[in-house]
Structure 1
Amino acid sequence: MRDRHGAADPSQLDPAARRVLERVEVDRVELVRFLYADHGGVIRGKAAGRRRLADRLGTGIGHTVAMMAMSMLDHLQPVEGMGPVGEVRIVPDPATFVPLPYAPGAAAMVSDLRQIDGSPWAACPRTFLKDAVAALEAEGYALVAAFEPEFTLGRRLPDPAGGPDRLVPVDDSLCYATTGFDIAHDYTMRLVRAMEDQGLLVEHYHPELGAGQQELSIRPATALKAADNHVLYRETVRGVAFRMAMWASLAPKPIPGQAGNGAHLHVSLWDPALERNLFADGNGGMSGLARGFVAGILDHLPGLAALSCASVNSYRRLEPRSWAGAYRCYGVDNREAAVRLCSPMAGHVETSANLEIKTSDSTANPYLSLGAVIHAGLDGIRRGLDPGEPVTVDPATLTDRERARLGVDRLPASLGEALDALEADELLMEALGPLRRDAYLAVKRSEVADFAAEDEAFETFQHFRVF
């Protein structure tokens, strides 16, 4: 049945979709953005008008298959099955519906990319994470995660020398200095309110090391919701800034010579009912399950980095003595190790046990990055791997012989090297599947080639503009 506007009868929709339609009316929403993350790490989407939303909740919005072969420079790559012929649907998840506080009259839903018949499409990143979560569930585990992003707040200004636009930071305050709190206060309060209005519960905020650099953390969630939250987080950080005639960038190195922006990934494994943290050993230490998970991540980390540090710009941040995790090792509260075991909080020793993956930033597609982490960690558990002894010093201070003895080595120093490692990683390549891995490698190889032909100013401009 159709109403007088030709739209589908809402009574035929499932309860979650009907709740969306009710909220659209109550909140006077005119456009609803259907969002997805592509292989270039860019958040893209289309928007449905209010009067046809009932239809689009079921059918999705038509979309060319070619968009998943598009790089962050909007250069389309030749990938079989992703050319001018063929279509998928951007199908929203009603459970992710949020009005956008920074865009009055608009709302958003995170979406899957599905085939015309409604079945999963082999290049859908969100489906990749769903499949990884299902693999965990089959083993009796649930993963809780949170991205911990940093970003640079400033203004986009022309280069006096005539080069690409520059990102000029809003302040030059010191790390954690109250000057930084005060200068960014109006923006920060709008950002916090916008986060909370979307159900993104703020845990911590502070000015970070770099000029204009901010860090704001939100509460952990189960794996799929954590990735969805990161999409909304990225959109909100930039959307609030744009509405205030400012610019915010989550790019790893938006300003040469300044501290880089990471998006450290915190994870822990729980029982399916989310009642017991399986990383805790009952004595404030790391369980055997956690050791296997850490070992799996370390084993696959060179290739995993191509998914978690997914841009050319990432590798300007991923350097020794930058607190970015440039060496493949783990340590207890060691912020130079690629994997940090976080000391538990007093009074919450069992529930707060988690590990932090530092080789992670916001140019990554969060669904691919987190899905690959799950596959790597689960592989370590299944194979009974052991991570060895933790590293208790900055690995850059060790000699080559000492690092060799401890099994510590340098992670890829460029996106090209990381892609080589990914191609050599049979587990991750198998998990990605033929279409997804072909498209991802084509897109990322093209970005390596395109930026190799340009200078640093072009690279930083394109990354702060896009991310």
Structure 2
Amino acid sequence: MDISDVVRQARAANVRLVRFLYCDNGGIIRGKATHVEKLATRMREGIGQTLAMQAFTGVETLAAVEGMGPVGEFRLLPDPQTFVVLPYVPASASMLCDMVRLDGQPWEACPRTFLKRMVARLAEQGMRAEAAIEHEFYLAREVGGRFVPADQSLCYSSIGLDEQAEVIDAILSALEAVGLSVELFHTELGPAQQELSIRHADVLTAADHVCLVREVVRGTARHYGLYATFAPKPFLDQAGSGAHIHFSLWGAEGSPQAGKNLFYDPQERGGLSQTGKYFIGGVLRHLRALVALTCGSPNSYSRLLPHFWSSAYTAWGYDNREGAIRVPSPFWGREAESINLELKPSDHSGNPYLALGALIAAGLDGIQQRIEPGEPVEVDPGNLSDEERERLGIRRLPTTLEEALDELERDTVLLEALGPLLARSYLAVKRAEADFFREKTPEEVASQHFYKY
């Protein structure tokens, strides 16, 4: 795809507006739109944005970040490969964008560019990464000024499939229309809670898909008088919603192990290679800081509780769904290609480009430093005594966003990977959000996150 291809497709689909979208430090998908008559020009020149937008918070305030005020701008430069015609709104299409300086170079505060840098860092080591996300969300109605679940369905029940069959079919049809391959769908634990999985892809495409899924699901649900929320804990008395990351490393083209899943070793338990174990070791070492990026909102920490299958400790295990990292059983006959790692403390309030890029940085540190993850945990780590967890090196994940941000500020590996400007702006945005919600009740926090995600 190039500019002429995009323009041709847009005109053929009778598109009038093309959205130039990005996901900001607050985890909010924002952007501007160009009329199709100016599409080619805007694709070459980009659309201007004030530098301050990367200091804009999820509560619509401006965090104090040096150089991100009223002076200066960056350009939203779209990736033609991400062009899709949006099936849930009239005459509209979208593309996902990089943030580019006026000299044409990538802006250091761009989350998508950060992920590209981490992909390049892997390539230097002869590796590439793939990912897939499990998307959990609720369907809800607004009743008397408050949001309530759209039904009272049961976990995995056919009742839930029947209750929302029409809207779910429309959502799946819309996802297919924008080129997303849905692998699985089912009702989840909470009433009207849904889960769908999108086929794995290279990590940059996977991050793009996270944004697209959110847009398509929410936009389609509105046609049925429903709100789709990807907030981590929209209903405090119900199950939370995650964005579990399934991740694998492969030999890059031209490397000695080109095309091979580097996490696979048939001689090891569960088929997990030593490289995979080192990767886990790195993630566990940095996990208390990493969650500041993968679980990016105050509402996230109402979800990360013991015994809720969302993970609350720096533990790992084979098919242990209370572990922060689960090694899923591979598929029969496809063991070599299907072995992967699942990161459970991750949700949709985190920017997907930052989450996946930081996951790579942490795991790569584990590989390079040969960090052992310790023994896999065979039980719910929340059932272990404090002494047992200390002996096993298992720590509680942060219980607030502030605590996670403190950990991130101390993590030199993740800060170096992010770079000074991106790290500084992200921390400022998240500190501002944490301050905004500090005096609010958990109910107020949940209510105000509901519509954002």
Question: TM-score category by the smaller chain?
Answer: over 0.9
CA deviation digits over 1:190-224, x for unaligned, max 9? 11011111111000000000011000111000010
Select the residue among 438, 452, 456 that pairs with 2:424.
438
1:282 corresponding residue in structure 2: 266
Q: Secondary structure at the match of 1:206?
A: strand
2:176 corresponding residue in structure 1: 196
CA distance in 1, matches of 2:231, 2:76: 26
CA distance in 1, matches of 2:139, 2:225: 11
Report deviation, 1:16: 1.3
2:402 corresponding residue in structure 1: 416
Q: Conserved in 1, the CA contact under 8 Å of 2:271 and 2:335? A: no
1:237 corresponding residue in structure 2: 217
Q: How many equivalent residue pairs?
A: 447
Q: Conserved in 1, the CA contact under 8 Å of 2:310 and 2:344? A: yes
TM-score in terms of structure 1 length: 0.94
Report deviation, 1:104: 2.2
* Match status 1:27 vs 2:13: yes
CA distance in 1, matches of 2:19, 2:201: 23
Unaligned runs of 5+ in 1: 1-14, 159-164
Report deviation, 1:117: 2.0
Q: Report matched runs for 1:342-421 at 5 Å.
A: 342-421=328-407
CA deviation digits over 1:112-171, x for unaligned, max 9? 01111211001000000000000000000010101111000011233xxxxxx4221111
CA deviation digits over 1:350-379, x for unaligned, max 9? 100000000100000000010000000000
* Match status 1:185 vs 2:171: no
Report deviation, 1:179: 0.5
CA distance in 2, matches of 1:147, 1:197: 19
Moved more, 448-457 or 37-46: 448-457
CA distance in 1, matches of 2:233, 2:403: 19
Letter in 2 for 1:341: V
Letter in 1 for 2:263: F
1:99 corresponding residue in structure 2: 85
Report deviation, 1:243: 2.2
Letter in 1 for 2:20: F
Select the residue among 45, 53, 60 that pairs with 1:67.
53
1:7 corresponding residue in structure 2: none
* Match status 1:222 vs 2:202: yes
Q: Secondary structure at the match of 2:409?
A: helix
Q: Report matched runs for 1:7-156 at 5 Å.
A: 16-156=2-142
Select the residue among 278, 298, 307 that pairs with 2:284.
298
TM-score in terms of structure 2 length: 0.97
2:251 corresponding residue in structure 1: 271
CA deviation digits over 1:412-442, x for unaligned, max 9? 0110100000001011111111111111111
Letter in 1 for 2:312: A
Q: Which runs of 4+ in 1 moved over 4 A?
A: none
CA deviation digits over 1:305-324, x for unaligned, max 9? 00000000000000101101
CA distance in 1, matches of 2:39, 2:279: 42
Report deviation, 1:346: 0.5
Unaligned runs of 5+ in 2: none
CA distance in 2, matches of 1:93, 1:244: 31
Q: Secondary structure at the match of 1:264?
A: strand
2:155 corresponding residue in structure 1: 175
Letter in 2 for 1:182: D
CA deviation digits over 1:31-73, x for unaligned, max 9? 0001101010000000010000010011110110101101111
Query: How large is the Cα RMSD of the aligned pairs?
Result: 1.0
**Identity among equivalent pairs (%):** 51
CA deviation digits over 1:399-420, x for unaligned, max 9? 1111111111101011010000
Report deviation, 1:226: 0.3
